[in-house]
């Protein structure tokens, strides 16, 4: 029997144990909590770390723990060839679950439901089962392989330095915290806060009293609202209706003393894929720009509507549109607005291609906004790229192709992954293309058969990489 077949047989025979071990981790509510001694990200993440260390040690792997923030399990003690990096912290379950989020429930659709089944406890257990499989099959590796698990990926990756401050990354790292096949290019990020202040001075004509929209910098907002003076609801709807229609949003208005309250309803999306949403803040700008409003607040909004127009997520109007073949197009989304009688703040989230830098992105953006009277604050974070044609990535893709029968390829992502700052890192698994894991949502899930396939892929990839076998 070939090694590929032996791996497959072993993993298939351990489905029940895999699910039971996953359930031990899913049962722990490892949402970030208050820091305390030995638990920098709170009791939940620390408890999940301890449980994972127990699991790994129980299968005979040497473990270590780093400041209560990260842990590791070693396949062997040879010089490092490969690190596999995942995380044990979770996003709070939220509402809307049809089974206990802290239990692993396998339903008739063949999927295992529970918070962390996909992100990222499940993939860590898949990697642990790849370790178990190779060990129990007696497979020897020519290089070192380490499983690393952090506890703060969801809240800013403050965990990584606890390990990486004292340890060099292996020559190759993959994080099973994304999807198959391989994500080897990550866009950079430019988060800009645009501000402007003006004297509080309500003139006699219709004006803009206040406005707000959005709640998180990396989310395209679905809701925005503005309070107007000197204009009633019917007039605002009549004059702003066409702009709202053109933006594809719903516009509501109600009378309030001396004016009206406008509400815009669009569609939420992740900031890395603004075309999937309908930005309520930029739509509100378009509606306000169509109204006969006086004063500096309204004038500022008209400028923002010109420089960051609704649907203009490529950044053309601000002079920063650009792209490259490897990482794709720049995207920008105006996501959090606060406007009062005396000033405004608007936070934008731009995902920038590898070709973008201060001189062709930040500087022209600051110039364009500055010329219109706005101040801009914010630094650029560079992108990440691991070559797709090296032996490492070819070994990953060959392992993926072997067990899925699908064509492997390298993809770019606008979202930053856990390996963004790790040289030679890529994201690899564990979700299969086209499968909706309901990441961060209610009823998060994995397909059990896919999870077993991912575990086989990891096992074969470990062998290829640590034994420097060329991809077939
Ligand atoms: Zn994750």
Per-residue pLDDT of the chain (472 residues; tens, 9 = 90+): 999 999 999 999 999 999 999 999 999 999 999 999 999 999 999 999 999 999 999 999 999 999 999 999 999 999 999 999 999 999 999 999 999 999 999 999 999 999 999 999 999 999 999 999 999 999 999 999 999 999 999 998 999 999 999 999 999 999 999 999 999 999 999 999 999 999 987 677 899 999 999 999 999 999 999 999 999 999 999 999 999 999 999 999 999 999 999 999 999 999 999 999 999 999 999 999 999 999 999 999 999 999 999 999 999 999 999 999 999 999 999 999 999 999 999 999 999 999 999 999 999 999 999 999 999 999 999 999 999 999 999 999 999 999 999 999 999 988 778 998 999 999 999 999 999 999 989 999 999 999 999 999 999 999 999 998 754 4
Cα–Cα distance measured from residue 204 to residue 432, given in angstroms and rounded to the nearest whole number: 60
Whether the Cβ atoms of residue 148 and residue 163 lie closer than 8 Å to each other = yes
Domain that holds residue 402: 3-187+384-466
Whether the Cβ atoms of residue 127 and residue 188 lie closer than 8 Å to each other = no
Indicate the residue among 357, 381, 405 that finishes a domain. Answer: 381
- Judgement on whether residues 395 and 286 belong to the same structural domain of the protein: no
The predicted pLDDT at position 202 comes to 67
153 CA from centroid of ligand 1 (Å): 6
SS3 281: helix
123 CA from centroid of ligand 1 (Å): 10
Whether the Cβ atoms of residue 419 and residue 177 lie closer than 8 Å to each other = no
Residue 472: inside a domain, yes or no? Answer: no
Q: Could you count the other beta carbons within 10 Å of the beta carbon of residue 364?
A: 16
- Judgement on whether residues 96 and 58 belong to the same structural domain of the protein: yes
Region for 56 from its dihedrals, namely left if φ exceeds 0, alpha if ψ lies in -120 to 50, beta otherwise: alpha
- Judgement on whether residues 403 and 375 belong to the same structural domain of the protein: no
- Judgement on whether residues 195 and 310 belong to the same structural domain of the protein: yes
304 CA from centroid of ligand 1 (Å): 34
User: Which CATH number goes with the domain that contains 224?
Assistant: 3.30.70.360
Residue 471: inside a domain, yes or no? Answer: no
Q: What is the CA radius of gyration of the chain?
A: 25
- Judgement on whether residues 13 and 100 belong to the same structural domain of the protein: yes
- Cα separations in angstroms, 404 against 62, 83, 321: 31, 23, 38
Q: What is the DSSP letter of 35?
A: -
**Sign of the alpha-carbon torsion through 25, 31, 37, 40:** positive
Residues near ion ligand 1 (Cβ under 5 Å): 119-120, 177
Indicate the residue among 381, 411, 437 that finishes a domain. Answer: 381
- Judgement on whether residues 205 and 322 belong to the same structural domain of the protein: yes
Cα–Cα distance measured from residue 92 to residue 86, given in angstroms and rounded to the nearest whole number: 18
- Judgement on whether residues 255 and 294 belong to the same structural domain of the protein: yes
The predicted pLDDT at position 165 comes to 97
67 CA from centroid of ligand 1 (Å): 21
169 CA from centroid of ligand 1 (Å): 19
| Alpha helices by DSSP H, 253-319 | 280-289, 296-307
Q: List the beta bridge partners of residue 65.
A: 71
- Judgement on whether residues 294 and 408 belong to the same structural domain of the protein: no
């Amino acid at each position: 029997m070939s090694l590929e077949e032996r791996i497959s047989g072993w993993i298939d025979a351990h489905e029940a144990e895999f699910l039971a071990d996953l359930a031990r981790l899913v049962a722990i509510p490892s949402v970030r909590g208050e820091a305390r001694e030995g638990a920098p990200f709170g009791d939940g993440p620390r408890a999940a770390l301890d449980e994972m260390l127990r699991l790994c040690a129980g299968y005979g792997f040497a473990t270590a723990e780093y400041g209560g923030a990260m842990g590791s399990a070693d396949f062997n003690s040879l010089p490092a060839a490969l690190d596999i990096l995942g995380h044990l912290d979770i996003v709070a379950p939220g509402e809307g679950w049809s089974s206990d989020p802290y239990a692993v429930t396998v339903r008739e659709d063949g999927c295992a439901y529970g918070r962390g089944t996909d992100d990222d406890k499940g993939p860590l257990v898949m990697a642990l089962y790849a370790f178990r499989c190779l060990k129990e099959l007696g497979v020897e590796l020519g290089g070192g392989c380490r499983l690393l698990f952090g506890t703060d990926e969801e809240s800013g990756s403050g965990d990584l330095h606890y390990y990486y401050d004292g340890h060099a990354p292996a020559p190759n790292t993959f994080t099973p915290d994304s999807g198959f096949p391989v994500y080897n290019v990550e866009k950079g990020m430019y988060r800009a806060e645009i501000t402007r202040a003006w004297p509080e001075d309500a003139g006699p004509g219709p004006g803009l009293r206040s406005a707000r929209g959005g709640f998180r910098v990396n989310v395209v907002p679905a809701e925005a609202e503005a309070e107007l003076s000197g204009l009633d609801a019917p007039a605002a709807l009549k004059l702003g209706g066409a702009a709202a229609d053109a933006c594809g949003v719903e516009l509501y208005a109600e009378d309030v003393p001396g004016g009206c309250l406008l509400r815009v309803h669009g569609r939420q999306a992740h900031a890395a894929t603004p075309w999937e949403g309908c930005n309520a803040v930029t739509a509100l700008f378009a509606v306000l720009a169509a109204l006969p409003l006086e004063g500096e607040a309204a004038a500022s909004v008209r400028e923002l509507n010109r420089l960051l127009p609704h649907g203009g997520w490529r950044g053309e109007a601000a002079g920063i549109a650009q792209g490259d073949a490897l990482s794709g197009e720049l995207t920008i989304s105006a996501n959090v607005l606060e406007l009062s009688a005396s000033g405004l703040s608007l936070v934008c989230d731009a995902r920038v291609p590898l070709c973008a830098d201060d001189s062709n992105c930040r500087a022209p953006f600051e110039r364009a906004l500055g010329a219109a009277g706005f101040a801009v604050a914010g630094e650029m974070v560079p992108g990440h790229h691991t070559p797709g044609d090296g032996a490492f990535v070819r070994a990953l893709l060959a392992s993926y192709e072997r067990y899925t029968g699908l064509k492997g390829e390298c993809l770019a992502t606008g979202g930053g992954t856990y390996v963004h700052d790790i040289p030679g890192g890529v994201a690899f698994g564990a979700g299969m293309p086209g499968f909706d894991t309901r990441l961060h949502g209610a009823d998060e899930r994995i397909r059990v058969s896919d999870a077993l396939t991912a575990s086989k892929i990891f096992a074969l990839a470990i062998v290829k990489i640590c034994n420097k076998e060329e991809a077939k």
